[in-house]
Chains A and B, each alone.
Chain A
Amino acid sequence: MKELLLGKLDGNALPHEWFTIAGSISFILLVIITALIITRLKRWKWLWNDWLTSVDPKKIGIMYFFVSGFMLIRGGLDAIMLWLQQALSSGSSQGYLSADHYQQIFTAHGNIMVFFVAMGFIFGLINYIVPLQIGARDLASPFLNTLGFWLFVAGVVMVNMFFLFGGEYAATGWLAVAPLSGKEFSPGVGVDYWIWSLQISGIGTTLGAINFIMTILKMRAPGMTLWKMPMFTWGSLCSMIMAVTVFPLLTATLFLVFFDRYLGTHFFTTLGGGDPMMYTNLIWMWGHPEVYILMLPAFGVFSEVVSTFSRKAIASYTSNVLGMIGVSVLALSVWLHHFFTMGAGANVNAFFGVMTMIIAIPTSVLVFTWIATMYKGRIRFDTPMLWFLGFVVIFAIGGIAGVMLAVPPVDFQLHNSLFLVAHFHSMVIGGVLFGIFCAITYWFPKFTGLKLNERIGRYAFWCWMIGFCMSFIPMYILGMLGATRRLDHYDASTGWQPFFVLMLIGGIIIAIGVALQLAQILASFIQKNRLRDTTGDPWNGRTLEWATASPPQFYNFTVIPHITTRDAFWEKKHHKLPKPAYEDIHMPKNTAAGIYISIFAFLVGFGFVWEIIWLVAVSIIGIIVVFVVRGFNEHPEYTITAAEVQQLEETRARKDLAVSRPEKHDDTDEDMGLWQLIGIVFGFAKDVIRNKRWRKW
């Protein structure tokens, strides 16, 4: 009876180790505190109607940022724990983590950073910016978009669920190599959590990608041909096309792993005729393109930023776009470089080695177009530009390391060493994450109507840069000295400990960088009058998103623009526009269907993890019912009449006028510094305590 009701779930599954207890308590506290604050502020309705059920890609974009930002901290804590273990655990000291726990941490770290930080931020950016850049009011399918987002959230919850139930995550590495991930070698629920977390969020990614392809190919403003599309949109299009090409492979492969574990099939097992090497092939056929799915939108961001801040059109738009297309196409045919050592034979290795090296060519084309854009440009060194410059340096180093690894004989030495780890962190941090930070500082005025504090932003950038070099340059060296990846203990005679200590210090500096980024946002809101952007175009931008207000109206464009040139907005700025003729606007209605489906999808996964069959069955029926109700709803849209549009526009214009009256500036020319911020925060705290202001709460 108990088995029927609860499956494998029992008292042992509840948290009883220090890290699961700590994790559970912090998550539960977080939920309780948030709920209390919302209740106190009477904001539940607002939260539900204005945000959670919203289909506005701008709001969904912001929600992605929140979740991913939170996950960045969560995954960053993992990283610090790993580094601390490595710094301590030399010779007779075993550090503070068991080998098994250490393995779970690096697995969770990798999954969280790739799927829930990098992917989330990238999807958030695409959501917010692409419709604005192509002159669209919403997405081709607003419903698929919320659904994709909420499936992503379900994946996030699933990946953290082991704290509460089960107490173990997969200890298999972020791609769960077979046959280690089979039931035989990983009997616990960790791998099941891994499967369902990636499965659910991966399906969300596929749906999202289909939606963006539809949007970009079918909803561009009249006159915007493909060759007039902004570069970020190009990068996103390439990335999304790659995503629909490879995410189905991930989905299928995860199902096969699931069948192996759950039904006892023999796909990747050592017994029964299964083929573990097939798993390696399948997962990397998705895995390699995945890293470029993250990279291409970041390439697009850098192209926009370098051209805006050099006050010059991109040096060669055609080569830039062709470079991105080239990278995407080639990236589909290099996966084998992740397992040269598996023994595919010299000829196969040679082919994939050469293909991998060829990828460096379109990539270099991109780098050269950026450098050529800066040449003779009038460069402004605002923080987005700093992120870009930091990126170029780190990315070049990482790329060279990648080309070294692409030489099979070299790879036999360096494979699975810390050199590899340093390579991909150069690409993923220096490339993708810096790209995301660059994008967020660049478009922050669009998101909020405020520019970000520049001074603290510079501090944050330099912390990241210095911290990165301190932790990853020693890692390259250690890798060449022979340190393997995923090492939780090493002999004292290796003499590696100082390097690991240096890496830990670097990690702490990066953590300070993250803290500074949060401080930067706080400081910007404190100084909001000074930093407010009333023009909609704070950087003297070139592309269409800057033609809207900051933040844009929920329908983006009052009148859909007609495009005649690249850098559409740049051209337009120099012509006076005729007074717009307002027209009716059709907008999608909010819907909670995505939330419901995701809850059920989560329960399907949870049911499978714990083998609670009734839960799975009920949830699948739930999904079908919601789909039917939603799918046969014939009125998912509403209309705003031209008169209403006019009214909305006029109110906004009035509001803009009110805030744009010149404020008295502080005496300093610069944005608020760190000390001033700390002073204000302390002053506020003192005031709260002294005047007993919490009583009012």
Chain B
Amino acid sequence: MVTNHETAHMVDHEAEANDRVMFGFWVYLMTDLLMFAVLFAVYAVLHGKTLGGESGRELFSLPLALTGTLILLTSSFTCGIGMIAARGGKKNLTLLWFGVTFILGLAFLGLELYEFTELIHEGHTLRSNAFLSSFFVLVGTHGLHITSGLLWMAITLVYVIRRGLNSHLVRKLALLSLFWHFLDIVWIFIFTIVYLKAFV
């Protein structure tokens, strides 16, 4: 038989573990941010090194980037709503909103791939010059993060369908949504520093 005292003990134990994991994940996000910081710094140093080739102003399409940005921002919003549903224990709503988030993320990724393939078809590859190297690597790294976020989301949702919204999975979703918002913030910097700045 489980006494009251014991359950209280277990709950404490779990709350502590949650608190620790959340904190650790924040620290991890900071390390990831520092990696992006390096890529931003590298872009700042190299973005002028086009070797006479076209610069960002000629290569980038602002409407495309803006659409991507809006899609990602919306996905952050839907992800937030999904999290509220998850905290409230509403399984179907959670699946719905995270599903929407997933589709928006996929759309963002699609746009990015489209942009990349267009550039590559026109002969602007990451070997062309230092500017393009740093552009592709910075934006591509973000894209890779989005991809792993999507993978994580898909797997977690499958588990939610199978196991229901238990505390373990809610914690997973909470971490995931942190990650997603983090990627959103990084993207805002990319949008400003890479795309907007190319046109000022």
> Smallest distance from the beta carbon of B123 to chain A beta carbons, Å?
14
Residues 22-54 (chain B) with a chain A CB within 8 angstroms: 23-24, 27-28, 30-32, 34-35, 38-39, 42, 45-46, 49-51
| Across-interface contacts of B137 in A (CB, < 8 A) | 255-256, 259, 265, 267
In the bound complex, do residue A244 and residue B31 qualify as a contact, i.e. CB atoms below 8 Å apart? yes
Q: B46: which of A267, A586, A624, A631 is its contact (CB, 8 Å)? A: A267
> Smallest distance from the beta carbon of B55 to chain A beta carbons, Å?
12
Write the chain A residue with the least CB distance to B127: A264
> Smallest distance from the beta carbon of B4 to chain A beta carbons, Å?
14
> Smallest distance from the beta carbon of B165 to chain A beta carbons, Å?
13
A288 at the interface (CB under 8 A from B): no
B13 at the interface (CB under 8 A from A): yes
Binds A, one of B60-68, B93-101, B128-136: B128-136
In the complex the two chains form, what is the Cα distance from A251 to B35 in whole Å?
7
In the complex the two chains form, what is the Cα distance from A266 to B132 in whole Å?
9
In the bound complex, do residue B49 and residue A219 qualify as a contact, i.e. CB atoms below 8 Å apart? no
Q: B172: which of A259, A624, A631 is its contact (CB, 8 Å)? A: A631
A343 at the interface (CB under 8 A from B): no
In the complex the two chains form, what is the Cα distance from A275 to B13 in whole Å?
52
Binds B, one of A208-216, A448-456, A491-499, A569-577: A208-216
A274 at the interface (CB under 8 A from B): yes
Q: B126: which of A213, A219, A245, A265 is its contact (CB, 8 Å)? A: A265
In the bound complex, do residue B19 and residue A272 qualify as a contact, i.e. CB atoms below 8 Å apart? no
In the complex the two chains form, what is the Cα distance from A245 to B30 in whole Å?
8
B189 at the interface (CB under 8 A from A): no
B9 at the interface (CB under 8 A from A): yes
Write the chain B residue with the least CB distance to A252: B38
| Across-interface contacts of A628 in B (CB, < 8 A) | 155
Write the chain B residue with the least CB distance to A624: B151
In the bound complex, do residue A275 and residue B45 qualify as a contact, i.e. CB atoms below 8 Å apart? yes
B121 at the interface (CB under 8 A from A): no
B20 at the interface (CB under 8 A from A): yes
A17 at the interface (CB under 8 A from B): no
> Smallest distance from the beta carbon of A617 to chain B beta carbons, Å?
14
Given contacts A214-B27, A218-B19, A586-B13, contact A248 B129 (CB under 8 A): no
Given contacts A244-B30, A584-B9, contact A263 B23 (CB under 8 A): no
B114 at the interface (CB under 8 A from A): no
| Across-interface contacts of B42 in A (CB, < 8 A) | 256, 267, 278, 282
A666 at the interface (CB under 8 A from B): no
B77 at the interface (CB under 8 A from A): no
In the complex the two chains form, what is the Cα distance from A263 to B172 in whole Å?
35
| Across-interface contacts of A434 in B (CB, < 8 A) | none
| Across-interface contacts of B128 in A (CB, < 8 A) | 272
> Smallest distance from the beta carbon of A201 to chain B beta carbons, Å?
16
In the bound complex, do residue A632 and residue B159 qualify as a contact, i.e. CB atoms below 8 Å apart? yes
Write the chain B residue with the least CB distance to A634: B168
In the bound complex, do residue A140 and residue B20 qualify as a contact, i.e. CB atoms below 8 Å apart? yes
Residues 254-311 (chain A) with a chain B CB within 8 angstroms: 255-256, 259, 263-267, 272-275, 278, 282
In the bound complex, do residue A267 and residue B20 qualify as a contact, i.e. CB atoms below 8 Å apart? no
In the bound complex, do residue B130 and residue A272 qualify as a contact, i.e. CB atoms below 8 Å apart? yes
Given contacts A267-B46, A267-B134, A275-B130, contact A248 B24 (CB under 8 A): no
Given contacts A210-B28, A265-B133, contact A245 B34 (CB under 8 A): yes
Write the chain B residue with the least CB distance to A140: B20
Given contacts A210-B31, A249-B34, A265-B126, contact A273 B24 (CB under 8 A): no
| Across-interface contacts of B51 in A (CB, < 8 A) | 272-273
Residues 190-213 (chain A) with a chain B CB within 8 angstroms: 206, 210-211, 213
Q: Which of A244, A251, A272, A273 has the most CB of B within 10 A?
A: A273
Q: B31: which of A141, A247, A265, A631 is its contact (CB, 8 Å)? A: A247
In the bound complex, do residue B38 and residue A267 qualify as a contact, i.e. CB atoms below 8 Å apart? no
Write the chain A residue with the least CB distance to B36: A252
Q: A266: which of B13, B133, B168, B172 is its contact (CB, 8 Å)? A: B133
B166 at the interface (CB under 8 A from A): yes
Q: Mark A568-608, 1 if CB is under 8 A from B, else 0.
A: 00000000000000001010000000000000000000000
In the complex the two chains form, what is the Cα distance from A266 to B51 in whole Å?
11
A217 at the interface (CB under 8 A from B): yes
In the complex the two chains form, what is the Cα distance from A264 to B134 in whole Å?
12
In the bound complex, do residue B127 and residue A265 qualify as a contact, i.e. CB atoms below 8 Å apart? yes
In the complex the two chains form, what is the Cα distance from A249 to B38 in whole Å?
6
Q: Mark B97-110, 1 if CB is under 8 A from A, else 0.
A: 00000000000000
In the bound complex, do residue A253 and residue B38 qualify as a contact, i.e. CB atoms below 8 Å apart? yes
| Across-interface contacts of A272 in B (CB, < 8 A) | 49, 51, 127-130, 133
| Across-interface contacts of A264 in B (CB, < 8 A) | 126-127
Q: Which of B31, B46, B131, B172 has the most CB of A within 10 A?
A: B31
In the complex the two chains form, what is the Cα distance from A266 to B128 in whole Å?
8
| Across-interface contacts of A282 in B (CB, < 8 A) | 38, 42
Sample 23 A-B pairs with CB under 8 A, ordered by A number.
A206-B31, A210-B24, A214-B23, A218-B20, A248-B31, A249-B38, A259-B133, A263-B126, A264-B127, A265-B136, A265-B137, A272-B49, A272-B129, A272-B133, A273-B49, A275-B45, A278-B46, A282-B42, A584-B9, A628-B155, A631-B172, A632-B168, A634-B166
Apart from A217-B23, A265-B130, list 20 A-B contacts with CB within 8 A: A210-B27, A210-B31, A214-B23, A248-B38, A253-B38, A263-B127, A264-B126, A266-B46, A267-B42, A267-B134, A267-B137, A272-B51, A272-B127, A272-B128, A274-B133, A275-B46, A275-B49, A278-B45, A624-B151, A632-B159
